[in-house]
Amino acid sequence: MANSSPNSGTAMAVKKWKKKRGSLIMALHEIQDIKGYVPWEDAQEVAVGMGVPLARIYEVLTFYNYFKLEAPGKAVISVCLGTACHLKGNDEVLKEFEKELGVKEGTSTEDKLFHLQSVRCVGCCGLAPVVVINGKTYGKVTPSNVRSMIEEWQNNFANETDVA
Amino acid sequence: MTEMVKAIIDGVEIEVEKGTTILDAARKVNIDIPTLCKHPDVEASAACGICVVKIEGRPNMVRSCCTPLDNGMNVITKDPEIIGVRRTVIELILSNHPNECLTCMRSGHCELQDLASEFGMRETNLPSLVKKKEKDESTKAIVLDPSKCVHCGRCVEVCQNQQNVHALSFLGRGLPTQIAAAGGIDLADSPCIKCGQCSAHCPTGAITEYDETQKVWDMIMENEDHVVVQIAPAVRVAIGEEFGYPIGTNLTGKLYSALRMMGFDKVFDTNFGADLTIMEEGSEFVQRFTKGTAPLPLVTSCCPAWVDLMEKYHPDMIENFSTCKSPHEMVGALTKTYYAEKMGIDPAKIKVVSIMPCTAKKYEISRDDSMSSSGFQDVDVVLTTRELARMIKQAGIKFRDLEEVEADNPLGEYTGAGTIFGYTGGVMTAALRSAYALITNEELPDDVIDFKPIAGLEGVKEAEVEIQGKTVKIAVAHGTGNVEKVMEKVRSARENGEEPPYHFIEVMACRGGCVAGGGQPRVISSDVPRPRGINDEIRMRRAKGLMGEDKDAKLRRSHQNPSISKLYDDYLDAPLSKKSHELLHTHYVARSTYKR
C-alpha cells in the first residue's frame, strides 16, 4: 500500500491531476521532476490517488525511456544520439563514457555521482556531437574530451562538499 | 434494425452486421483465416500480423482481425503472396522463440507449434534473437516463462479487463517487452489471484500450471502412504478432450478406473463435498435469511480465486462471505478425520490429492491455518485436469478402453446438485434446491428445479425466487471483471441504509465457471474451432455435460444424499455444528494487493 506518511510532492501531483482524464503521464512527470525518478512507493500513491492500477502505471513508466525507476546519479550525462550527433560519431563518445565510468548506458555509477543516458536530439544539431550534463551543453565533443568533462563535475561535487 | 453490409470474401457473397471484422465475417462462410493473437474473449490487438488479407483496390494488406467489412469490399484471404507474408511473420516470431518444443509443457497443444506445422516451417534464415529470461514460479500455481512469450497480449488483456485483476502487464517496449507484474516483482507479491485465465488464453508455453505430477507419483510409490484422490465436478466433462472424445463428454466412471489403475488407494469425489457444502452453506443462508443472524447478502466462497480477490479488493465484504470451505477442502478435512477414524488409519499416513480444473486451488490448500483443520494439511497436492491427463498418458492407460466403475465410500456418493457446481449458476441452483426444502420442509417441484434464468453465459444474472411468500433475490456473477458492479450495488445500498439488492450471490472467477477454469485442457483438435483455446462454445458444451448428469441423476438435491445424512448422524451431528465449524469452515482477512 502507499506510504502512509504524506509524500508532499507526489500528493500534490496526484491532487492536481487526478480529476483530469488522461493525465497520468503529467503526474508522473512532476514526480520525476521533483525526485529525479519515480520511486515504487510514489507510483503506488499515484495508483491509489488517481485510481489507476499499478500495473498500468508501470506499463507507462517502462514504455517511455524518459522515466527512471531508480535514483539517478547526481550528474545526469545525456549523450545525444540524434541523427546529426550519431553521424558525427557520438556513439564513440558514449562508449568512452561507459568505459571511463564503468557503467552501461541507462544506469548510474555505484557512488551515485553519475547517471549515463542516451537521448534523441536535444535541438542544437549545429553543435553536434552534443553532450548535456545537468543542463550544461557541451558541443563538438570527441572521446578525448570525456575524461575532462567527468573531472569537471567531480570537482564541482567536491567543492559542494567542502562548502557544506 | 441493425445495419447490414454486403461484400465478397474469396468470391463468396456475404451479408453481415455493420462493424463485423473481416476475420469474423470470413468464419461465417467457413473461411478460416489463421491468427495467433486474436481470441474471441479479447479485443483485437493487431499484435501478430498473421491474419493479413488483401482488399481489392487497396495498396497494402490489412489485418483482418481489426478491419471491419465494408459495403462492396472484395476480400482475398489466400493467394501465394498472402501465404508468403504469413510465413514471414511466423518466421519472425520463431526467430524470437526458443526451439524447445521437445521439452515444452505445451508441446502438442501449442498454437504457435500448430501454426508453424500448418505452414510447413522447416528451416529459418533469420538469426535467433532468443534470450533466456528467468521463469517466475513464485505463485506455485502458475508459471510464467517470458522466454516463450510471443507478445500477443491475450493474457494481459484477460488479466486486466476480463478479470479486472491487473496483476499482469507488459513491461518495456519493443523486443525486450516482457509479461510481468508491475515493477517486475514476483507474481506472488502482486494482486494475482491465481485464477489461471492467463494460462487458459496463452497460445504458447509462456504461461502454464505449476507442475506437481512427480510429487504425486512419488506419493503413490511410497508404500507407507495411503493416497486418496478426489475429482472436481468440471474435470469429468473436460478430460475427454485429451483422449479424443467430443467436448463435454462425461467420463466419471472411466476416470475413477484410471485413478485406481494409477495406484491411488481410494477414489473419492469432490461432488460429495459439493453436496456437503450445500448443506452447510444452505443452512448458513437459511439462518441469515430467516433469523437475521448475520448480514445479507450471503456470498459463496467455493472459488479460491474469488476468495483471494475478495480479500484483496473487497475486504469490506468479509462478513457477507460464507465461511464454508470449498468442497475439495471439506473432503480433505473429512478424509483425515472421519474416514481415518472409521478405517483406523493413521491420518499422518494419509495423503490427499485433489484433481481440479483450477490453478488457484494449488494456492488455496495452504492459504491459512484452517486448511489444516485435521491437524495435517487437509489436501496435500492439487493437480489440474491437464496434469492428470499427462499422468494417465505416462502410465500407458488406454483411457477409451477403461471400464466404468463407481467411486469409493464414504466420501464418493453424490447427487445431481453436487455435479452442477462446475458451471456458473450451478452452486446457486443447488443451494436453492436445498434452502427451499430447509425453509418449507417441502421439496421444490422437479419442473422448477433448474432455475433457467441463472444458467447461460450472461456476465451477471439476476433472478427472484419465492419461498413461503418471501422473495429471495439472487445474483450470479462469473469472470471476476463482472463482480465489481454487483459488489458496488451491495455497497451502495449498505451505505445508504437501504435493503440489500440481493440476498444470495454466487461468484465464480472464471467466465463460465469451473468448466472453463485455468487448469482445464487446451487441446487443439479439429473439433475445436479457431481461434484456438477456450471459448463460449466449449464452455457451454462442457456445462451441458454436467447438466446432463444432473438431469439423469436419481437424486438431484444435496440433502437427499444418503452418505451425507450418514456423515451428520455418525460424525458431524448437524449442519453448522461445532464439529462442522472446526472442520468445514474457514475465515478471511484483508490482504494487501501488493506485498511490497
Give the model's pLDDT for residue B254.
98
**Residue A110: phi, psi to the nearest 5?**
-60, -35
CB interface of B with A, residues 136-175, below 8 Å: 160, 166-173
**Residue A94: phi, psi to the nearest 5?**
-60, -45
The answer on pLDDT for A97 being more than 90 is yes
When scoring B144, B158, B166 by the number of chain A Cβ atoms within 10 A, the one with the most, hence best to mutate, is B166
- B201 and B254 inside one domain: no
Q: How far apart are CA B539 and CA B423, in angstroms?
A: 9
The answer on pLDDT for A143 being more than 70 is yes
Give residue A132's Cα distance to chain centre: 11
pLDDT band at residue B175, thresholds of 50, 70 and 90?
confident
Q: Cβ neighbours of residue B348 under 8 Å, at least 6 residues apart?
A: B376
The answer on pLDDT for B146 being more than 50 is yes
Give the model's pLDDT for residue B78.
94
The answer on pLDDT for B479 being more than 80 is yes
**Residue B203: phi, psi to the nearest 5?**
-80, -15
Domain count, chain B: 3
pLDDT band at residue B531, thresholds of 50, 70 and 90?
low
Nearest to B531 by CA among B107, B44, B162, B104: B44
Nearest CA in chain B to A52: B166
Q: How far apart are CA B560 and CA B485, in angstroms?
A: 36
All residues of chain B having their beta carbon less than 8 Å from the beta carbon of residue A55 are 160, 166-169, 181-182, 190-191
The share of chain A scoring above pLDDT 90, in percent, equals 60
| Cell numbers standing for residue B355 | 484433481
When scoring B45, B158, B168, B169 by the number of chain A Cβ atoms within 10 A, the one with the most, hence best to mutate, is B169
A to B CB pairs, distance under 8 Å: 43
Nearest by CB to residue A58, choosing from B160, B173, B182, is B182
* Cα atoms in the Cβ-side hemisphere of radius 13 Å centred on A138: 20
| Cell numbers standing for residue B453 | 434464468
Strand-by-strand arrangement of the B298-299 sheet: B298-299, B504-508, B470-478, B460-467
Mean predicted confidence (pLDDT) in A110-126: 89
Nearest CA in chain B to A56: B169
Residue with cell 481461434: B531
Nearest to A135 by CA among A122, A145, A146, A148: A122
ipTM, 2 dp: 0.88
Nearest to B265 by CA among B304, B220, B302: B220
Mean predicted confidence (pLDDT) in A50-71: 91
The answer on pLDDT for A1 being more than 50 is no
* Cβ-defined contact of B183 to A53 (cutoff 8 Å): no
* Cβ-defined contact of A62 to B172 (cutoff 8 Å): yes
Exposure string for B402-426, b = 16+ CB within 10 A, e = fewer = beebebbebbbbbbbbbbbbbbbbb
The share of chain B scoring above pLDDT 90, in percent, equals 89
The answer on pLDDT for B524 being more than 80 is no
Nearest by CB to residue B170, choosing from A44, A57, A59, is A59
Nearest CA in chain B to A63: B172
* Cβ-defined contact of B166 to A63 (cutoff 8 Å): no
Q: How far apart are CA B370 and CA B329, in angstroms?
A: 10
Summarised one tens digit per residue, pLDDT across range B354-395 is 999 999 999 999 999 999 999 999 999 999 999 999 999 999
CB interface of B with A, residues 573-592, below 8 Å: 592
| Cell numbers standing for residue B540 | 457451454
- Lowest mean per-residue pLDDT among A70-84, A89-103, B575-589: A70-84
Strand, coil or helix: B163: coil
All residues of chain A having their beta carbon less than 8 Å from the beta carbon of residue B596 are 40
Residue B458, in any domain of the structure: yes
**Residue finishing a domain among B146, B175, B210:** B210
Long-range contacts of B312-317 (CB under 8 A, 24+ apart): B312/B191, B312/B193, B312/B591, B312/B592, B312/B593, B313/B191, B313/B593, B314/B483, B314/B487, B315/B588, B315/B589, B315/B590, B315/B591, B316/B491, B317/B487, B317/B490
**Residue B182: phi, psi to the nearest 5?**
-50, 135
For residue B382, the distance in angstroms to the closest alpha carbon of chain A comes to 29
CA-to-CA dists, residue B371 to B132, B332, B364, B368, B377, angstroms: 37, 9, 8, 6, 6
Nearest by CB to residue B167, choosing from A1, A55, A63, is A55
CA-to-CA dists, residue A117 to A106, A139, B212, angstroms: 5, 17, 45
Nearest CA in chain B to A66: B172
Residues in A lying within 8 Å of B, measured between beta carbons: 1, 40, 43-44, 53-59, 62-63, 69
- Residue B303 has a CB neighbour count (10 Å cut-off) of 29
- B278 and B368 inside one domain: yes
Characterize the bridge pairing of strands B142-144 and B12-17. unpaired
Select the more confidently predicted residue: B529 or A123: A123
Q: What is the DSSP letter of B306?
A: H
- A75-163 folds as Glutaredoxin (3.40.30)
Which CATH number fits the domain that encloses residue B53? 3.10.20.740
**Residue finishing a domain among B187, B210, B233:** B210
| Cell numbers standing for residue A157 | 561535487
Q: Are B95 and B124 in contact (CB under 8 A)?
A: yes
The answer on pLDDT for B187 being more than 70 is yes
What average pLDDT does the structure give for chain B? 94
- B62 and B87 inside one domain: yes
- Lowest mean per-residue pLDDT among A104-108, B345-349, B407-411: A104-108
The answer on pLDDT for B139 being more than 60 is yes
Give the model's pLDDT for residue A2.
41
Burial of B398 (0-12, 13-18, 19+ CB in 10 A): exposed
Give the model's pLDDT for residue B527.
63
Q: What domain range is B371 assigned to?
A: 215-584
Q: Read out DSSP for A102-157?
A: T--TT-B-TTSSEEEEEES--S-GGG-S-EEETTEEE-S--GGGHHHHHHHHHHHH
pLDDT band at residue A7, thresholds of 50, 70 and 90?
low
Summarised one tens digit per residue, pLDDT across range B13-39 is 999 999 999 999 999 998 989 999 999
Residues belonging to chain B: 596
Nearest by CB to residue A56, choosing from B166, B172, B190, is B166
**Residue finishing a domain among B210, B237, B267:** B210
- B392 and B539 inside one domain: yes
Q: How far apart are CA B142 and CA B135, in angstroms?
A: 10
Domain boundaries, chain A: 8-63, 75-163
**Residue B388: phi, psi to the nearest 5?**
-60, -45
Which CATH number fits the domain that encloses residue B263? 3.40.50.1780
Q: Are B385 and B478 in contact (CB under 8 A)?
A: no
Residue B130, in any domain of the structure: no
Give residue B58's Cα distance to chain centre: 43
- Amino acid in position B468: Q
Strands of B83-204, DSSP E: 142-144, 168-171, 178-181
- B334 and B399 inside one domain: yes
CA angle (B579, B283, B231) in 5-degree steps: 70
Which H, E and C letters describe B538-566, residue by residue?
Answer: HHHHHHHHHHHHHHHCCCCCHHHCHHHHH
Q: For residue B350, list its beta bridge partners.
A: B226
The answer on pLDDT for B523 being more than 90 is no
pLDDT band at residue B452, thresholds of 50, 70 and 90?
confident
Q: What is the DSSP letter of B448?
A: G
* Cβ-defined contact of A62 to B160 (cutoff 8 Å): no
Summarised one tens digit per residue, pLDDT across range B282-331 is 999 999 999 999 999 999 999 999 999 999 999 999 999 999 999 999 99
The answer on pLDDT for A5 being more than 50 is no
The share of chain A scoring above pLDDT 70, in percent, equals 94
Give the model's pLDDT for residue A4.
41
B34 upstream amide cis, omega within 30 of 0? no
Residue B293, in any domain of the structure: yes
For residue A2, the distance in angstroms to the closest alpha carbon of chain B comes to 10
Give the model's pLDDT for residue B530.
66
The answer on pLDDT for A13 being more than 90 is no
